[in-house]
Amino acid sequence: MLYLWIFLLILGLVLLVKGADWFVGGSSGIAQKCKIPPLVIGLTVVAFGTSAPELAVSVTSAIQHSTDIAVGNVVGSNIANIFLILGVSALIKKLPVQKESLKIDLPVLLGASALLIGLGFWGNSVQWWDGLILLAVFALYMTLTLVKAKKEIRAEKLKIAEAKANGTYIEEETEERKPPKTKVGAWFLRMQEKLWFCIVLAVVGLVMVVGGGTLFVDGAKYIARAAGVSERIIALTVVAIGTSLPELVTSVMAALKGETDIAVGNIIGSNLFNVLLILGMSSLFYPLAFSVQSNLVDALVAFGGALLLFVLSFFDKHRLGIPAGIIFLLSFIGYYVYLFLISA
């Protein structure tokens, strides 16, 4: 029976990851067909889609009253994103930290992490009204991000127009999309040009995310009981790393290819989504227990990770290199040693 639940856990994770991919692809196609600006698509559909695995797991856990998994998934994912993913990526290639991230995004992440600690510590739980506060902060942050991005686009268009008027504008070469190597890939690419197929793709992807999240949570709970390990430990390890796999693969591949410009920004954005959107929405379904003895320690580690990222970003010309990667990975190992020692 245990092997069956392990299989269902893995199946749930596969459905989560692939379902999120299809949901993003279908939703982006629908938005493009409806003439929605790419900026809005990136800040809403794509950003939401990359956080879909964590969202599905935490909301499903809240509905099932498994609050240790709901909270542990988010906090554990934030810890894994910074210590593990940025740690491995920084060993491969130096990761530049954008000035905008240092001015806005990282301070907001630190504030959101501190807000979670304060709300959880205040009443030993994150209630629905706490969730509304988190969601309000998330809405404000997204609004400011959208406004800032629109200003940057207008400024860039004005710069190009002036360069054209002065005869100094040189059009950048765009990288040609490589044709699919298989007939199935070519067929899939053609079908994505059709609106009805994008709708089907988005719906199927959403169903896969929801179903995969349910299987993943149920599998994690059964394995935790069978192994005599608490749901909190399972959530902070298996569930957190499992739902962070898309970010891990994406960041490592980007580092290998040298495409590091937005690697740190993506991790910061993912962590912000986790705290403000995912925990905010999850708490609307059921109060999320926040134990001072356990959850507070984990939340403080997540806050410490964000603070460490902020401090290290001021060295080496705002780049995260091998020393930063080693510090992150040693912190990750130390935290996991602590988890296994308390669970022994």
Residue 151 has pLDDT above 90, yes or no: no
What proportion of the chain, given as a percentage, has pLDDT over 90?
24
Per-residue pLDDT of 241-257, as tens digits, reads 777 776 676 677 777 77
pLDDT at 175: 47
- Residue 216's identity, in one-letter code, is F
Strands (E), 100-163: 125-126
In angstroms, the CA 214 to CA 189 distance is 30
Residue with tokens 């991230």: 101
pLDDT at 344: 58
Averaged pLDDT for residues 96-121 = 89
In angstroms, the CA 134 to CA 143 distance is 14
Return the closest-CA partner of residue 282 out of 295, 291, 269, 273. 273
Pick the residue with more confidence: 68 or 302? 302
In angstroms, the CA 328 to CA 194 distance is 45
In angstroms, the CA 21 to CA 212 distance is 13
Structural domain boundaries in the chain: 2-169+183-343
Residue 39 has pLDDT above 60, yes or no: no
pLDDT at 129: 93
Residue 234 has pLDDT above 60, yes or no: yes
In the predicted model, what is the mean pLDDT of the chain?
Answer: 82
* Widest pairwise Cα distance in the chain: 73
Return the closest-CA partner of residue 256 out of 95, 96, 93. 93
Burial (CB count within 10 angstroms: exposed 0-12, middle 13-18, buried 19+), residue 314: exposed
pLDDT at 133: 95
In this structure, of 95-104, 146-155, 174-183, 298-307, the range with the lowest mean pLDDT score is 174-183
Banded model confidence at residue 309, pLDDT cuts 50, 70, 90? very high
Pick the residue with more confidence: 128 or 53? 128
Contact in structure between 24 and 50 (CB atoms under 8 Å): yes
pLDDT at 187: 82
Q: Angle 211-34-185 (CA atoms, 0-180°, nearest 5)?
A: 55
Averaged pLDDT for residues 158-162 = 81
Model confidence, pTM: 0.79
Burial (CB count within 10 angstroms: exposed 0-12, middle 13-18, buried 19+), residue 217: buried
Contact in structure between 328 and 83 (CB atoms under 8 Å): yes
Banded model confidence at residue 136, pLDDT cuts 50, 70, 90? very high
Averaged pLDDT for residues 126-151 = 89
User: CB 260: neighbour CB atoms within 10 A?
Assistant: 20
Which of the following CATH numbers is that of domain 2-169+183-343: 1.20.1420.30, 3.90.1150.10, 1.20.1440.230, 3.40.1280.30?
A: 1.20.1420.30
Pick the residue with more confidence: 125 or 163? 125
What proportion of the chain, given as a percentage, has pLDDT over 70?
88
In angstroms, the CA 188 to CA 191 distance is 5
Residue 176 has pLDDT above 70, yes or no: no
pLDDT at 111: 95
Question: Under the phi-then-psi rule, with left for phi > 0, alpha for psi from -120 to 50, and beta for the rest, what region is 201?
Answer: alpha
